[in-house]
Amino acid sequence: MDFLIVDDDPAFCRTLGRSLERRGFPVRSAHTMAQGHAQAMRQVPAFALVDLRLPDDSGLDLVQELAELGSGIGIVVLTGYASIPTAVEAIKLGATQYLAKPVDTGQVLAAFGLGEGGSPEPAQEGPMSTRRLEWEHLQRVLAECEGNISEAARRLGMHRRTLQRKLQKRPPPK
């Protein structure tokens, strides 16, 4: 049960990789789509954590390639630019989960359905919180405005600084 981490931030790869290795998972990392593809072709990983924005291409292209390699691969897309449209696209292409940065090792393991010891963890059921729904709505409107905060604030009927403050917070739990 090895992990492939594909992220353009070497420090993040190193830190998360060490944390996963302490929990008993072998880890390989790559910093571009080409490196990630080469790593996956050498040995198909059990789990892949793929950043949405890579220097040489979109991480979504790598998600699609990994999904075509084998249906048993757990793929989680990780991004600092979370939005509902990209989350939907990632799931359509074969990702099993979509996480917004920053994340910790516990969140990564939970996204793959693994407990702290590497054992399967039961999925949480239930409706999304209203705070989470609001956060996702703000992200969707911002994506529709192509990242223009002033335009998104106008469409949402709120002050620009209020929207900026809400967007700086981590996404609330589901």
Give the tens place of pLDDT for each residue, 102-128.
788 888 898 888 865 444 444 444 556
119 located within any domain: no
Put simply, whether the predicted model's pTM sits higher than 0.85 gets the answer no
Q: Is the CB of residue 172 less than 8 Å from the CB of residue 138?
A: no
123 located within any domain: no
- What is the domain range of residue 150? 130-168
Do 157 and 100 share a structural domain?
A: no
Do 72 and 10 share a structural domain?
A: yes
Q: Is the CB of residue 47 less than 8 Å from the CB of residue 2?
A: yes
Q: For 2-49, how does the pLDDT look when each residue is reduced to its tens digit (9 = 90+)?
A: 899 999 888 888 988 999 999 889 999 999 999 989 998 998 899 999
What is the residue-averaged pLDDT of the chain? 83
Do 106 and 138 share a structural domain?
A: no
Do 139 and 74 share a structural domain?
A: no
**CATH code of the domain containing 151:** 1.10.10.60
Q: Is the CB of residue 6 less than 8 Å from the CB of residue 28?
A: no
Q: Is the CB of residue 115 less than 8 Å from the CB of residue 26?
A: no
18 located within any domain: yes
Do 35 and 76 share a structural domain?
A: yes
174 located within any domain: no
- Number of structural domains the chain divides into: 2
Q: For 12-21, how does the pLDDT look when each residue is reduced to its tens digit (9 = 90+)?
A: 889 889 999 9
Do 73 and 21 share a structural domain?
A: yes
Structure-token pair, residue 23: 């929990």
Give the C-alpha separation, 44 to 58, whole Å: 20
